[in-house]
Structure formats: structure tokens, C-alpha cells
Structure 1
Amino acid sequence: MGTYFASGHAADVMLAALVVEAVWLLTRGRGLGLVLVMLGPAALIVLGLRAALVGAPWPWIALPLALSLPIHLADPRLWHRDNRTV
């Protein structure tokens, strides 16, 4: 298990699950923008995790984590707007 995590493959599996969820949401009528805002922060956090697991330099860990915040803050506004029109 240690090698599995150290190679970053655990994060790859999480990213694949996020892609499957995105496809599922898109087939259920959610817009692409909303899906990206809903799942984008999680994907960026997992990318930061993957970078940390494989021993990447700190900017490659910090950048996706920092980018996830503004997308995460946009989530409630878009979620509310989308659900109000349904």
C-alpha cells in the first residue's frame, strides 16, 4: 500500500472517480460550468495531494490548493442560481 500511495496512483483513482461523477452529472442535465464549479475544487485539491505524494516541489502543491479557493467560493452562488431555475 505504501508504494501505491507514494506513486500517486491513489490520487489518480480519486481523479478518475471525479471524472465519472462529472460525466454522470452532465448526463443528468447539469451544465458544464456548474459541474466544473462543483467538482473543480475537489479535483484541484486531489492534484495538490498527488503532487505531495510524489514529492513535487512545494509550488506544485500550493498552486492547486490556492486555485481551489476562488472556485469553491463561486460554488454556492452558481448552485443557488441553477437550482432556482429548475
Structure 2
Amino acid sequence: MAKTYFDQITASPAVLAEFLASIPALETPWDEAFQRTYCAACSAENCDAENCPHQAERNSPAWFLAQEVVDSGNDPLR
């Protein structure tokens, strides 16, 4: 059987994250999860992209894909 695009982009978490990051989108599951995880409890007054103490996780599909599923996988945004 020939290799499919699915096979190629799911070869590893890193490859999948790179593919997801290449899709232009204003709102993504990883941004929403980041906001809930870090921004909801952040006390910084001016926490933009340059000043964020969690820069490595910001806008990162790889960070999102590494998060533990806490609701049996029913909704990754809860």
C-alpha cells in the first residue's frame, strides 16, 4: 500500500506539530488550552508575545499534543 499524507504527517508528534503550525488559523485548540493553562492565572499586566514567561509553550501545537488527556479524550478543550 502506498504511503498516504496521513501516514506522512503522523509519523511522529514533532512532524504532526510542524504540520499543524503551518496551517494559518486565528483560533486553535492549542491557543485555547494555553490561555486556560497559563493566562487565566497570570498576574502580568502587559503579557504580550514578547513578555510572556511561557514563550516555549505559546502558539505551540507540540506543547498541546504533549498534554495529558484529563477527560477520557472526549473534549481536548475542556
Q: Same fold (TM over 0.5)?
A: no
Greater helix percent: which structure? 1
Q: Relative CO higher for 1 or 2, CA cutoff 8 Å, sep ≥ 6? A: 2
TM-score under structure 2 length normalisation: 0.29
TM-score under structure 1 length normalisation: 0.27
